[in-house]
Amino acid sequence: MVQILSKKRRVVITGIGVVSSIGIGKDAFWDSLKNGRSGISRITAFDPSAFTTQFAGEIRNFNAADYIDAKRLKRMDRTSQLAVACAKMAVEDAKLDPRCNGRERTGVIIGTAMAGHGYILDQHKTLMQKGPMRINPFTALASFPDACASNVSIELGVTGPSFSIATACSSASDAGGYAFDAIRNGTVDFLIMGGAEASIYPGILAAFCVARALSTRNEEPEKASRPFSRDRDGFVLGEGAGMMVLEEYEHAKKRGAHIYAEVLGHGMTCDAYHMTAPDPEGKEAVRAIQIAMTNAGVTPNQIDYINAHGTSTVLNDKIETMIIKKVLGSRAYQIPISSTKSMIGHLIGAAGSVELIATILGMDYGIIPPTINYSVPDPECDLDYVPNQARPAKISIAIKNSFGFGGKNSILIVGKI
């Protein structure tokens, strides 16, 4: 039953779970971020020798059996495994038992662009080699797009709204926006929100290679993702997941929860321009940031940090720089900006959540993570990208930008309490 509220409620983040190529768990993830460590290396999941790009942000040493019962594990694809592991980390970090804290008032919203794709590709290979009766009997269940959210709901035993969002590279940030609205408007009290993506499969890598979207620095993969640097040559594919517990502020305060940040506002628009190229004028991306700022009630002078979409592609970085300047004017030159994709690669549907976690950890510790591999200034990218080394800074209000294929623009604004 939906609560009817006369006043908008405040929404805070009280739990974090993350699995990435630079660390499993928030502490390992943050230690790598602040020290500027790259998680990009030659692919080991399969032989990449035939591909023009042979590296990615691949997760090492992740054992899904540490988080999921063996029987259930067989019924999940890798994306769901990452999502469930991170959700359990986030709930534990929040010191929350959803079954005892209102399972009916707890929901799950997960962003993912390609959930199940890799699983289907693997099973198709089995089909071609061994015949139709040899594919995994759980293929239909493991590969449907909403399996991530369903698996997290089942594992945590929560019965509130449960769904996945697939809006390409803005999926997880859109999940954050919908989660914010659901708690603020009283639909639920808690939401396990985030994104998950397992994209390092031959068929997926091949698709991006033939699209010529990826960096080809095979001789130095750890230096391949170089957002805003003039010598950037494409993005780096990454895998991972980031999940957060969002809850109503008064409840979090009453139970003495550690509050990482408050979600202040969000904005969503679509360029309606092209499937891959951003609108060269950036009109709708500008409007998305303006909507988010109005929603949050903040002005350019209050922004302390921007975690950029920053993919390391020629067009994206140039146009994102222009967009920031159009929105913030001269203030844009005074705001530190960084792209954590320089360390973890592009997690596609999970990018927004993992990068939001980087943002709120930076806020919590008072440190801005760097944009590594920045070596050659680009006159068209002339802002402060926190090059190569982390920087101590007080962050009270931050913007997280996400821009997706198909012209999707999704912006989240968070603040420190």
**Active-site residue flag, 309:** yes
∠ CA 204-210-214, nearest 5°, is 75
- CA atoms of 78 and 386, how far apart (whole Å): 33
Catalytic residue among 169, 209, 251, 381: 169
Of 117, 251, 266, 346, the catalytic one is: 346
The residues that bridge with 270 in the sheet, in sequence order, are 408
Q: Per DSSP, what are the bridge partners of residue 194?
A: 110, 243
Q: At what angle do helices 351-365 and 171-184 cross, to 10 degrees?
A: 70
396 sits in the region (left: phi over 0; alpha: psi -120 to 50; else beta) called alpha
Neighbours of 34 (CB within 10 A): 19
Both tokens of 279, joined, read: 């609108």
Residue 369, CA distances (Å) to 159, 318, 334, 388 in order: 37, 21, 16, 9
CA atoms of 365 and 360, how far apart (whole Å): 9
Smallest Cα–Cα separation from 357: which of 189, 163, 196, 188?
196
Please identify every residue annotated as catalytic: 169, 309, 346
